[in-house]
A and B are shown apart, each in its own frame.
Chain A
Amino acid sequence: MTDALEFSHIGKALPRREDFRFLTGQGRYLDDIKLPGALHVAFVRSPHAHARIKAIHAGEACALSGVVGVFTGRDLAQWTTPLRLAPPIEGLHPVEMTTLPVDKVRFHGDPVAVVVARDRYIAEDAAELVEVEWDALPCAIDAVDALAPDAPLVDETLPSNLVSHQSFSAGDVAGARSGAARVVESRFDLHRHTHVPMETRGCLADWDGGQSHLTMHIGTQVPHPMRGQLAARLGLSETQVTVISPDIGGGFGQKIALYREELTVAALARHLGRPVRWREDRMENLMAASHARETRCLTRAAVTADGRVLGLELELTEDFGAYCFYPANYMARVIAMILTGPYRISNYAFDVKVVLTNKCGNGPMRAPMAITSWVMEGTIDSIARELGLDPLEVRRVNAIRASDLPFTMPTGEILEDVTPLETLEAAAGAIDVPTFRTRQAEAKAEGRLLGLGLCTVVESTTYGSGFYKAAGIPGSGHEAAWVRIEPSGVVNASVGLMGSGQGYETPLAQAVAEGLGVSPDQVRVHMGNTDVAPYGMGSRGGRGATAGGGTLYLCAQKAQEKILTIAAHMLNLNDMQGLRLHEGEVERQLTGDWQSTGIGLADVARRAYLDPLSLPSGVKPGLDVSLTYDPPPMTYSNATHACEVEIDPETGMIRIQRYLVAEDCGTVLNPVVVRGQQQGAVAMGLSGALFEQVVYDENGQNQSATLADYMVATACELPNIEIIPMHTPNGRTPAGIKGMAEGGIMGAIGVIAGAVNDALAPLGISVEKMPLSPQSIRAHLRSAEKSGGPKF
């Protein structure tokens, strides 16, 4: 592990500046923005999982006082173009979707018509009066059934429901198998989740007919890509659309795509010449926003007798739901790509299938590759169990060591500056494995079930343009920033990211302050308005710190150079050698010490803006600097999670006794914010593994559309999380930043499964299916009891 770098502002534990407005009720979320005369919409949604639309009768709804109109897929088809996804990726079928369905609906909750009315209450009344004649169709609900030859086709333009299929092989997998002492097979079944941001989706579209211009207020993680999509689908140019993202009450990946409802609202605002707004209700959010994760995996590990992995095969099937808002291989490919993560494995093959079903479409949910660490670490645990080895030893035997770096994974991904063995030792040491094993044995003698899980995570964080190019995905991973010192010396800055609650304003101000040499409280970072922010890819994955913070840091350094060039001139020096800007003051190094020059940033700014004729030759007026930066193809952070559980054998309830994470995410901009992200990610992972589940019955009826049914963990179910921070800088990024925020989910899912299986191992039980509900744990215990195990 390399030592952390030294900084003045980066890495300081500053509390967040946005807190004050949120704590006093002065945050401005979408629904807090008022536009006079705005109309409200309500969507009419399908009660069927799969049905043809025979006719839509809106007469009664339109007759209701206050209703402006009822519009259907046919109307929207005149005003918008369909979404066509056809990236040139082998094995991926091109797909196309209209703004609202015209001929048939594909899942329970699919929007089929929209009511526009004076207020939301009336819009909802009228939506109930819209009568749709349906012709119900057989549906494909389970991914395996959906692959049967006679399965109903979710998308009739495709030959089958297998929308994407890729295979890959590196090294000699067959050879590894034949030379192995044992081939260990393991299965993993992760259920369907949904994001549940506390603020549901919504938007407010304002069409200015005189200017032919759309202003779209929408909580989006990606303002510029959102603008591009809106313009393209509405047949407008990017000069005719402004996207403004207000404060966002959580996104978690749900607020990236341009959804059909949002495009509908924008088209209606233009068609009606009135502002139109929509706020999704919670039932719609749970049923029809986007879902995630439902993935089954099978691994085959060829191993030596001492647990060394000679070869690994993965078969993966993702249930993608009914519609593709993203290329269907988008999430699954990352799982397959980084699966081997912390381990020295060179013979590797995967087969990845993505299947359409009559459920709400999938999207990336915080850690789209969430299952990865469970699959890899669960495989390691299976190896240890089958060979009778210590799971910690099997990890050590296979772990990538510092001497292996840079390490090229079998998929070609390069790991640099990662420390999986170091985090493993830190976590294992802190949780004190030998002492736990003693306690576990004592408890077992009393009939109590204690378990310990370990889960090492290698988290892909920042995706550079090099990654996209190599993957054949059109798009870029670069980010853009500007830094502007105003005439009085205060600093405005902007970047293409948009936070959804993480707290970007403080750490990004720290990055600017560091690069520039001012105090963070002199810096204001503007995000979310496409007329203000430079074109950037926005917030997704763990790219905020590296791409956003890195770009701002470099841009601020560039601004500092210009400032010092001017200052040197003011000081009658030949160049800026030996000068620095520190806390807004120009300082000069004399005999090793930094001494004041009496010139401050405000003096330089005044000269740059108000006395440009006194600038050195070749220096342009103003202090307005912009810069783009493309991160390396990929950056990785790593961590090891350790968790102790006790299972109540009578109820099947799992209690988390202790939870800790050793995490190395390189240089951190602000440890307060990073810690919050670590805790929050672990919480979301545990909540998903233990409680949350989107449930469809066999007819495709969504059974989990309230927060009483879709169970998000409360304060009583989640543990305190201990964190051991480590900071090995990335050698290839500005300031050594790596990024983070998703790995906590990968680790939590893997470690809780590992801990539960460790507790149940003496009974011969291995749990392969999530969620880890008490009823499912009891079902395992019951069958163990029947086959002669202890009775609880």
Chain B
Amino acid sequence: MALMARFGTEAKPISGGQSLTPMMNMRIARPAHLVDLNDLLELDFIRVADGVVEIGAMTRHARVASAPEVVRELPLLAEAANTIGHYAIRQRGTLGGSLVHADPAAQLPLIAVTLGAEIVLKSVRGLRIVAAQDFFLSIMTVDIAEDEILTSVRFPAMGRSTGWAFDLVSRRRGDFAMASVALALDMDDAGRVSSLRFGIGGVSPVPARLEVVEQAAFGHQLQAGMIAALAAQASAEIDPEDTPQLPATYLRELVDLLSRRSLKKATETLGETV
């Protein structure tokens, strides 16, 4: 912490190095100092208390994907973490590293935003807590001060009866997604949506919740027609960049498809863990 305070903009904390080092090797990022977090074992933890799962920034993806607490309390996070990169990358990459790097198509920022997680930042000045949706500012830019380190993330535990789904489309196994969708769904006793958290990744500078869709779903049963309507709305709601390589029309189609598949899957997983 003192090192970060001393070097300011010239320093970057490094954890797994799976995001920062490639940029340094390509000479895109060139910090003067790196502060190594790897030996900060106290940042590798998973704690469950009072309906909150707090995960240390240095927790590797492989552990996030397989830790029983995460699988139980945050199955959406576990599933998404298991799709990050490749096996070897998951053994080395960390939660904190992925969040501060903030690739628009990365899994963990999407899950943090979807579940409404809180990002815990520390500096010599003290502790600062930022809501995930405020933390991601734009492509690879986050709300973190020069002297701050991301130390942990606090996820509200998913209800045991919450339905969920995570799905993505990528060109090759392990590539960043062209589009991804994460959902957490709750229903009342009459089978009507009481809460929908609908996150979307890859198609905007930062992962985002589609609140319009969430509100439209509220109070409705999710029959096929409703699912199709919500998916169409999600697809219309996004405003992806249009390039010859990846046309916006195609991305809208993917979002429509992923939304349909995910809403269906979320309804199927409802109450599964009760």
Q: Decide if A and B touch, CB cutoff 8 A.
A: yes
At the interface with chain A, which of B92-100, B169-177, B198-206?
A: B169-177
CB of A714 within 8 A of CB of B174, answer: yes
A714–B169 contact, CB under 8 A? Answer: no
Asked if B125 is at the interface (CB within 8 A of a chain A CB), the reply is no
- In the assembled complex, the CB of A549 is this many whole angstroms from the nearest CB of chain B, namely 37
A128, A711, A775: which contacts B27 (Cβ < 8 A)? Answer: A128
Please judge, given known A-B contacts A714-B173, A714-B174, whether A283 and B247 are in contact too, CB under 8 Å.
no
Q: Does A655 contact B (CB under 8 A)?
A: no
Neighbouring A residues of B169 by C-beta, 8 Å: 651, 653, 774
Query: Given A283-B26, A775-B246, are A691 and B172 also a contact pair (CB < 8 Å)?
Result: yes
Q: Mark B169-202, 1 if CB is under 8 A from A, else 0.
A: 1011111100000000000000000000000000
A706-B249 in contact (CB<8A): no
Q: Which residues of A contact B165 (CB under 8 A)?
A: none
CA distance A128 to B26 in the complex (A): 12
Q: Please state if A124 and B174 are interface contacts (CB–CB under 8 Å).
A: no
Q: For the complex, what is the distance from the CA of A715 to the CA of B26, rounded to whole Å?
A: 26
Shortest Cβ distance from residue A129 to the other chain B in the assembled complex, whole angstroms: 12
- Interface residues on chain B, number (Cβ under 8 Å): 18
Q: Hey, what's the 0/1 contact readout for A685-712 against B, CB within 8 Å counting as 1?
A: 0000001000100000001001010010
Whether B257 pairs with A650 at a CB distance below 8 angstroms is yes
Residue positions of B touching A, CB distance < 8 A: 22, 26-27, 169, 171-176, 245-247, 249-250, 253-254, 257
Q: List A contacts of B257 (CB < 8 A).
A: 650-651
Determine if B171 and A691 form an interchain contact, defined as CB atoms under 8 angstroms apart. yes
Contacts of B250 in A (CB 8 A): 652, 774-775, 778-779
Of the candidates B173, B175, B247, B253, which one forms a contact with A708 in the assembled complex, judged by CB atoms under 8 Å apart? B175
Q: Is the CB of A716 within 8 A of B173?
A: yes
Residue of A nearest to B174 (CB): A714
| Chain A contacts for B247, CB-based, 8 A | 775, 779
Is A782 an interface residue, CB under 8 A from the partner? Answer: yes
In angstroms, Cα B178 to Cα A708, docked, is: 13
CA A695 to CA B246, docked complex, whole Å: 12
The B interface, classified by DSSP as helix, strand, loop or mixed, is loop
Contacts of A695 in B (CB 8 A): 245
Q: Which of B173, B174, B176, B254 contacts A651 (CB 8 A)?
A: B254
A715 to B171 Cα, complex, angstroms: 13
Name the interface residues of A699-742: CB closer than 8 Å to any CB of B.
Answer: 703, 706, 708, 711, 713-717
Complex Cα distance, B170 from A691, in Å, reads: 11
Contact check, B26 vs A711: say whether CB atoms are below 8 A apart: no
Which residues in B have their C-beta under 8 angstroms from that of A715?
A: 173
Nearest-CB distance from A721 to chain B (Å)? 19
Q: In the complex, A237→B261 CA distance in Å? A: 69
A773 at the interface (CB under 8 A from B): yes
- For residue A708, which residues in chain B have a CB less than 8 angstroms away from its CB? 175-176
Residues of B within 8 A of A703 (CB): 245
Residue among A124, A652, A717, A782 making CB contact with B172, cutoff 8 Å:
A717
Residues of B close to A650: CB separation below 8 A: 253, 257
Please give the distance in Å from A790's CB to the nearest CB on chain B: 15
| CA of A651 to CA of B179, assembled, Å | 11
CB contacts (< 8 Å) of B172 on chain A: these are 691, 711, 713-714, 716-717
CB distance from A528 to the nearest CB of B (A): 30
Fill in one digit per residue for A124-146: 1 if any B CB lies within 8 Å of its CB, else 0: 10001000000000000000000
**Closest chain B CB from A161 CB (angstroms):** 23
Selected contact of A711 from candidates B171, B246, B249, CB within 8 Å:
B171
- Tell me the bound Cα distance from A714 to B169 in angstroms: 16
Binary B-proximity of A197-221 (CB < 8 A = 1, otherwise 0): 0000000000000000000000000
Residue of A nearest to B86 (CB): A714
Best-buried of A124, A650, A706, A716 by chain B (most CB within 10 Å):
A650
For residue A703, which residue of chain B has the nearest CB?
B245
Q: Which residue of A lies closest to B251 (CB)?
A: A775
Q: Which of the listed residues A708, A714, A775, A778 has the most CB atoms from chain B within 10 Å of its own CB?
A: A775
17 pairs, CB–CB < 8 Å, chain A vs chain B:
A128-B27, A650-B257, A651-B169, A651-B254, A653-B169, A703-B245, A706-B22, A711-B172, A711-B175, A713-B172, A715-B173, A716-B172, A717-B172, A774-B171, A778-B250, A778-B253, A779-B249
Q: How far is the CA of A706 from the CA of B176 in the complex (A)?
A: 14
Chain B residues near A653 (CB-CB < 8 A): 169
Q: Which 8 A-B pairs have the closest CB atoms?
A: A716-B173, A775-B250, A650-B257, A714-B172, A778-B250, A714-B173, A717-B172, A651-B169
Whether A717 pairs with B245 at a CB distance below 8 angstroms is no
Let me know if B246 and A124 touch, CB within 8 A: no
Residues 748-792 of A at the B interface (beta carbon under 8 Å):
773-775, 778-779, 782
- Chain A residue, CB-CB nearest to B30: A128
**Could you say which residues of chain A place their CB within 8 Å of the CB of B175?**
708, 711
Contacts of B254 in A (CB 8 A): 651
Contact (A773, B173) CB under 8 Å given A124-B27, A650-B257: no
Question: Least Cβ distance of B182 to chain A in Å?
Answer: 18
Given contacts A714-B174, A717-B172, A774-B250, 5 further A-B contacts (CB under 8 A): A128-B27, A283-B26, A716-B172, A774-B169, A779-B249
Q: Which B residues touch A691, using CB under 8 A?
A: 171-172
